[in-house]
Structure 1
């Protein structure tokens, strides 16, 4: 039963072409460059929305005609918007138009004219050119085809037949054609390999490189072509594959099926290769449906190794285990395989985490026993971590307008959740036999620059500058040092070039020596009233200041005692200090010296100023804040607090004549003998007199003497003549003593001659 099915088998692999290892740390299927899918006939998906939106495209994959199921690759920009797409020998811009030089990438590609003509198919893979963000390589791989037929049906040839598939590349520059892109003249359809089967994948390496892998048509070897900033190396890294299984791919023109696909795990360390043909175990002569192989892949060397063959025994003459497309789960522990060719169709899940063939075969779970999915169905892991499956009809042979979906592909068994017809494509579009080809994120530029700002905070005098340490890296500092760490002892600018051969990393360190240290001074005691003054922080340009009360000025005005603190900060450097200012006002004032009345008892309270925490000592020996005194004398106080002393004294005298002794004599003898010659009041010496009025009258009432002068008396003279002896009358008034007590008296006196 080879009819045109043979052509279908040749073309299915293209949906499986994939790329991995994102520089952003995301697996390849999640990067923005894979957010727009172009596939099938006029079909596409936009994953910039949730859920993805079906879109229309100008893609022209066939159904049962030329370019049957041929894989379309597409690449988006770093925001997820489509940049361009490619389909074997044609490159289209984001608007779906063929680029001016984008048609006929492969010279002499035949055209289908009849059933006996050369049928062909192939893969298309877009790979960013490392170091050139606007340039991409489009790899085009043709399938095997001849005009030789089995009956009237074209037959395919494998093994080392030179008519097997060929690999070409072309260079697209997105700066051309007004930013819509075009193929660079002279860089179009460059052949680098032949005798290949339909298996093509890309994996990003660790040295600004990308590996493009393909497989010899007889399954004997993997070829890994390295893409670097200088171009495509035409000499591949060759990884031989075990011959026993590969030989089984070539047992008969009827069943030898070179179509298939190669997928890479999300971390780029595993490869899965579908075996789309009948495999004969030469030791038991048992037939197996193709199923798949697993390989380890070394991204540093480009070598594939440790082949593991997953070949479940066939129950239906191998047709039930035929697969062409497969997909890893997001966590790389599962493989999903649409299987069956007319018979035994469905969707299998394999747990590959053990790495042991028998264990992997035993883990096979059928997710679609109703047979709605078949081996030619396209399958692809989406940016949303769901696996999308092409919806086909007629036992998987005809394209469909819907997509199936595995919603939880990391879950083992039925929990993976296969939903049939989960998403409708745009009207008039079909999925055909592939869902588009993923691309790889561009490796980093040859040199990546990074700048670091560090501080050297006094009193620190040295610091270490460090970059990633890796035994595979080389290091070169500006002073010639060659280690991952460098010790510096001063501020300045330092740089290091390090890393693998590519990308090189250049780290620049700006080290600033900062000294924010300061001293507010020793704790201080101020005696007496504080005169306001400023505490000042250091003058550090660009620093911030924070005082104890939250203020942020460079200085702080002190007007009382307390604890004052300041923190000065600049970048990562900070210094703090505090000062305690104690203010003890022990000033003493007992008042002026005091006089008290003579001959009278007194009690005076002397009050000192003794603040809390201070001590007092009186000259009397008392330690109270006040004393009562009743004796004249000098009294002193000394009040002490910390180093502060307040001293004062007061003198109390009892010599004040508050009142005076005064009386009037009753006779006097003005005879000039110096004794009792004047009539005057007798007043205590030193007595203060005020308001003095003294008058003398004769017996006829005539005034013979008057005076307002204290201590001036009548000398017995009247108008310059001695007055007659006899009796006279007097009146006297005055205020005496400091208390101004009134003295007034009237009486008679005798003048004796």
Structure 2
């Protein structure tokens, strides 16, 4: 199952000023200091030594000194070296012997780095601070100061002094506030690489973040300072290779979230102007100031200068072109003008290398409008030298944000929850990843630092909308619309879904809301889809196909011409298991290969419908022309006398051949079209013929022979079986309408009609045999042809 990622919130980074409130109100540098707690800055005495280059000092929020350092030793608010550096003996103000002040925070070699130290607050403990010490040989160390030690004057934590961090570095070192963390930035000596060491709630991260950036030769980065802009988004590097030789000025973008530097821009490179040492950004981040210390080259003296670059210009070439000298030193001395530092009063201060302090009065203004002023503060009995206090970095407790979110996971079994851009994630299951995979509904909580540098807590309520289950592929016989597709919610799911079924062309077929699924019936083969929508906004489409079932092939053989009344064989050549014949005249058969006789002439469409076990059918048709021979047989007489010649004539509806006459014994020539015959009795004559298509037919005609009726003149009813009855004898069919016999007295002794009359009189009357003698009869006879014969006579009853 595919996974789905939910982005909870996108924040925009904003960074606070590195300076807090009064933490930088007291500066110590060189062997002098400045107090910014007064309305007008004043000198501030201290015991910093040696202070030939960089230093660092930090106050509490009220501007009261906590401690200061040159990277080798640290002095408390009473200007005493911390006891952990004096063998546990307090009260010393300087390192005076191998047992007082030794071993220092880093090995003492008598040489000094450009930026030998920096101070950062411990994020998870406002009473503790890190002192970073950078040796001129490129080794980096850190120590931890706890202000609760030594009666509140502060001291080095046991076991947290001179802890080695890295080596192979140049003399560049500074700190900057990130996003609820602090970055310690240093530069590698032998490679084009910056190294950013993160400080967070858990301490110092051992592995630095590497940025391979820089457009100057690697060797040029050894000396000079690095400084961050107040918003923490830019960093500048003042570079020089060695005394009075090669160097330049470079600008970078900085990502406070990741610690990466990017987009290196060389603002100035090696020339007689390229001996850069100090750098500082204006309070509004718009201007960059850098110093080129005074030097001598080819017997020519170059005075120290302060240059301004306008960072608001575009494109980068315009920034480079904005290089403006805003101050030139009037002191004729080598290495004059060192570092610059932004003060809490909004001005930027820089020394002359001797006993005076200069400043830039309006550093946010472009060009000479910034108003650089010399000798604004004089020191008695002290020197500024070249260094200035390094920037410090302190994290104040951030605000917290709580967010309640609801995430609907649409049709997925797994979701990946992704917290906002930030860092130091902690989920309620202990995971520290930004993402978390969830597979069930519930509330999930993640805490992290967002891009506004606030502690954010997100409570994410996850609801899973499970994908309904769609039917597998359906089946239908082509064009039969037997297909069916269904979709059902998963077991126990009571979500109401809107189902919209569509055909392959996108035409809507059916739509409804249901908690119980839906079914699409009576659909043909093809592709169909169902769009599934919920009230919460889930929307997806599933596909289903209705596949075609195999279709049998109907085929049969049959003659295209048939004869009426003659069997026509239909040969089933299909392999389907079920079949049915339709002969086109309303009759049908379920036999495999039936024989069928058409009862009438005409054109008929015979069809075979076959069906397989899947229920799919096919049909085959054939046009059948039914022909029929109509024969007619006529006689020139319908009634003839016995012996009379009758002529028989056959005729057909189409050409034909006579194949037989019946009775056959009367017709020696069986194939004659016509015949003559002498009538011996009433007969039915039959002729059989066959047409050119093989159709057979018969025709018949009846010819009657007039019957001859004989009445005996006597009979002997003596029971001997001979002439026992008096009755009419006919040569043909007769019907007796009435038959009456009278005795000599005129008495009727017998009467009969029909069959009874044909049986005759047995000589009795009322069951008594009558006397011998003569009797009289009347008989009326109807012949088959409808004629009437009436006879009268007498008959003698004998013994």
TM range (shorter): 0.3 to 0.5
Structure number, greater radius of gyration? 2
Q: Which has the higher strand share?
A: 2
Flag the structure with more relative contact order, 1 or 2, with Cα contacts below 8 A and sequence separation at least 6: 1
